[in-house]
Structure 1
């Protein structure tokens, strides 16, 4: 585990790629939403960007307090549970689980949209959902390789994206402000026909649209909480390194978002919400193959240097694919913590042989693909579901941190410590006010646009987790040992070997039953075919076996119920006896062979297991094809041991 811990230079791209990559779609969503009111609304773009940047800096400052106070990796879930109770913790947990799935769906879908801007990749048009689903599968496979390996793979593209965007912004501003070059984006020539609902950009309509624009721009904040969930993955000192990485994330992300929006404003870049606003030329609507904001900016800024354009586009769609890695690191860890506390299936708590939470990675990939296919990889549709979950967790977490510092201040007497705690409480109070306000804005502006789907999903997951916990608690209570637990031995063990024909599997089952030395032993067959039963009895008597063979009649040629009735009658005769039923089974090497064999045995076992006082023992008989399966298992075992030896 020590070898998988991440230094800051790797932790930044691993945990912050989501927040950094939002530069590729958060400015676009600001411009898309403002287009509903026409050109007049575009003057608000940079003001919205500044508001988003202020919120991001406040949230980053708040979460720096979180990682110092709770370095165990529980993040918002641990903060809420410890300070506000289990229901608050589950609210945060369900919100984050939904938001992680949306992170993957939005990032991958946005990556496909950017990839379409490259002429060689125009064939993706119309096949976005398929391409995005394939990308999720590839990303899942990379993460199953382990945190350390995937971190190294993701570092280079993330830094390339940061360099490409910052270089594009600086060079574009240099050409416009210093060289006085009239840089105009490809879409600058068009006018915009607004949505009639917002055409009169005044009063309530203006406030509503600006609120909706701001909430869409706040997509840039998603991923900030992932660092607080991933503190255990940092090298020591963990909290300090995580806090430093958060500060780096905030500074870089704010610079990039404001830079892109300002450059878009100066180049008169336009984007439309297709179907609600329209491009116009000379007063007439025109159909335009629209490029993303980053593609348009890179095209004009690097107009004399095409490698620069291709570098930015390549880095953008790669980082958008890899941005989902934030969720692939956060979702499995959070799922493991929730599973440890009994709110999710326990299979999510364990690591695979690559030290990754393999089951959590698989679940996340499947859920993201379902969303991508359902929404056809449309970023604008998916973005309406986004942000709600993360701001729920932000707000509840900041409230929990206020409780945390208030509780500690009651018992702290050291003056310097009390001063630091008060400062932290003030920061978290500002964070609570800011994130709570944004949450209200998001809910009001996005609810009918699709946010209600995310809220329903959170509620469903919350209820599911409560039900799982009740089940685990019920099982624990039911199976708990105490001094009154009945430890009386059964009076006798009566063994019954099921027989369909006299062959090697039957003889092996008989031998195994004899070796167990039961109080009584008998063989049992069901008469579904008179001729076959007669031959079996004759063969049994001729073989001279010392075990009596009982024949149970079955007028309707049914096997399971006659055996169940016989076993129940044996139990009724002596309730303190234990009945052990031995079932011969074939062990096969191919899945299709399993369909051809053992079906009656499986049905019978399923029924017998619900019968009190009855034990079921499968006696395997290896067919020739099972040897191939055994060889495969041995090869996998040798391969796994080799990996562990190399790691050791």
Structure 2
């Protein structure tokens, strides 16, 4: 009989895949683009807005400076794409920034990058979903009170889709991604056409005035404002490295297909970002960190939400009640939410690589039913949901934590690639090959310098606005991974076989069967114990209740069991401690002997039945595991409810192991069933 949990799991996830079907899940470029590039493409929807939010701190007079930080973002995005093309071609096995840094700069810098990427992936989910919900609320303001619940619902949906497998999630997310790309390009084309023909569109906020938070800026303050605007606009680069982490998911030739996908991602992202930024300037779109700084803002500025930049631009180009406007809003919300899928396809494989190298728990290395890294997917969802809840689903508050990890990995990765090319030059045999390596090294060296400067700028400009939390979190993650690695290393060293150990064999084996009454479960446990052919075999019960103990002794003598029954007194009605003390007494006189403890257990078919039985066997087993020279064997007895649930025959041979929920009343002194 199949349980309801199994039925629900199959409905959500589908049928499990065999391991030999892994090749069938590899991605063509048309599916790889929406899977790995959706984060970088979706940032177009809020990168322009983040620049405006900072420039408006100085008032309207600074909005004309927007091309400066926006131009810097475009140049940086081009540099990063070119740099990571070199990573894809040099490291086609995946691992991206972590593998590059670990192999070229060492384990500790590699862990710094791993921590940065893990933080970045979590923030990608939180920020992308929150930004998508912002656009939904821009079209439907009445949903604002349910912001957090909507965010959590979308995270649950994304988690379920990714648990179904990479290829299937790619099919589901391809149409919204391409629809968003088409919608933005059409919006930009229509907006620019109207402008060139003398019908310049105007945003609804074009007539607003802004109450500046900073006035009379000096040259230094103005430069800092521009740097801060640039660092905020650098959110457009989030997810740019995702392709390099997911090369193994591509079809062959993997490196070539991944490099082409990255190029298309860069070209499309730059074109879309430039178009939206140009339209924001043309339509005179305004948005502030605090709605109350807008003079003429309709409604209560403390409770009403401002419309996003892309919503205002779309309304200006198409009209706020038109079908194209709602189409742009729907596709924008979808791409922002689905952009989190980039993290779902980057976070679990990175954890798998770290787990393989013993820096993360081994459970994160294995694949689930659908050949996806299920444990990593669930872990990502839980942490991202916690952030959404903690920050109230606010994109503005969450995004301050976002960029630092991105540029940490960018900078160290490009530095590692420079060292990689330096080593490659020593083995280059032809002038053509050396020329190619010199060109690649120059690209990565420029990328390292550029992203390093941006990292410093981001750290300075965003530190007090929330980035300090990332500065705290990353060292904690590094220390955690280092501790996990040290633990695994110590365990491996401890478990290494010493030749002397082979000569030190146990002296004798003593079997103890713990009983509480004479019944079928006790009889089976004794049969199992006899089958191991111990040197001595003794039944043990703890006297918790005098009447029960006398009844057990009488049954033992009447049935001629054939092995001695030892009664251990327990004046304080404990079970665990008297058994442990008895075992210690036996081993004290014969330390080379082994004691094997057999515990009869019931197997029931329903969780509520398990609650009705004494669980003291769990405590006893847990305590016995810490005793040297002691082995613990659970001997199950399947009750009728378990046989009915799992379609087991009513009678079956002793020794068969059946599925079920274990619970036991059979500890000595716990009372007969």
Report if TM-score (shorter chain) is over 0.5.
Answer: yes
Query: In structure 1, what is the equivalent of residue 430 of structure 2?
Result: 414
Report if the CA contact (8 A) 1:79-1:397 is conserved.
yes
Q: TM-score, normalised by structure 2?
A: 0.91
Query: In structure 1, what is the equivalent of residue 13 of structure 2?
Result: none
Report if the CA contact (8 A) 2:123-2:402 is conserved.
yes
What does 1:43-442 align with in structure 2 at a 5 Å threshold? Answer: 43-119=64-140, 122-177=141-196, 179-195=197-213, 198-274=214-290, 277-280=293-296, 289-303=305-319, 306-442=322-458
Query: In structure 1, what is the equivalent of residue 556 of structure 2?
Result: 540
Residue from 460, 480, 490 that aligns with 1:474? 490
Gapped regions of structure 2 (runs ≥ 5)? 1-21, 649-657, 661-673
The secondary structure found in structure 2 opposite 1:502 is coil
Structure 1 residues 141-179: Cα deviation after superposition (integer angstroms, max 9, x where no partner):
0000001111111111000000001110110111112x2
What does 1:461-610 align with in structure 2 at a 5 Å threshold? Answer: 461-610=477-626
Residue from 20, 30, 47 that aligns with 1:26? 47
Q: Single out whichever of 91-100 and 44-53 deviates more from structure 2.
A: 44-53
Q: How many residues align?
A: 629
The secondary structure found in structure 2 opposite 1:182 is coil
Q: CA deviation at 1:30?
A: 1.0
Report if the CA contact (8 A) 2:292-2:302 is conserved.
no
Residues 1:116 and 1:275: Cα distance change in structure 2 (over 3 Å) = closer
Structure 1 residues 490-509: Cα deviation after superposition (integer angstroms, max 9, x where no partner):
22111100011222211111
Q: CA deviation at 1:36?
A: 1.1
Structure 1 residues 596-621: Cα deviation after superposition (integer angstroms, max 9, x where no partner):
33511110011111111111000011
Q: TM-score, normalised by structure 1?
A: 0.94
Q: Single out whichever of 619-628 and 331-340 deviates more from structure 2.
A: 619-628
Distance between the aligned counterparts of 1:580 and 1:289, measured in 2?
68
RMSD (Å) for aligned C-alpha atoms: 1.9
Residues 1:77 and 1:106: Cα distance change in structure 2 (over 3 Å) = same
Residues 1:86 and 1:497: Cα distance change in structure 2 (over 3 Å) = same
Query: In structure 1, what is the equivalent of residue 63 of structure 2?
Result: 42
Report if the CA contact (8 A) 2:102-2:108 is conserved.
yes
Report if the CA contact (8 A) 2:163-2:370 is conserved.
yes
Structure 1 residues 456-509: Cα deviation after superposition (integer angstroms, max 9, x where no partner):
111111000000000000000000124333343322111100011222211111
Q: CA deviation at 1:287?
A: 8.2
Distance between the aligned counterparts of 1:44 and 1:507, measured in 2?
87
Q: CA deviation at 1:573?
A: 2.1
The secondary structure found in structure 1 opposite 2:502 is coil
Q: CA deviation at 1:118?
A: 2.1
Query: In structure 2, what is the equivalent of residue 6 of structure 1?
Result: 27
Structure 1 residues 334-384: Cα deviation after superposition (integer angstroms, max 9, x where no partner):
010000000000111111121111111010000100110010110000010
Report if the CA contact (8 A) 2:318-2:325 is conserved.
yes
Residues 1:629 and 1:49: Cα distance change in structure 2 (over 3 Å) = farther
Distance between the aligned counterparts of 1:407 and 1:379, measured in 2?
43
The secondary structure found in structure 2 opposite 1:117 is helix
Q: Single out whichever of 88-97 and 299-308 deviates more from structure 2.
A: 299-308
The secondary structure found in structure 1 opposite 2:632 is strand
Residues 1:631 and 1:380: Cα distance change in structure 2 (over 3 Å) = farther
The secondary structure found in structure 2 opposite 1:184 is coil
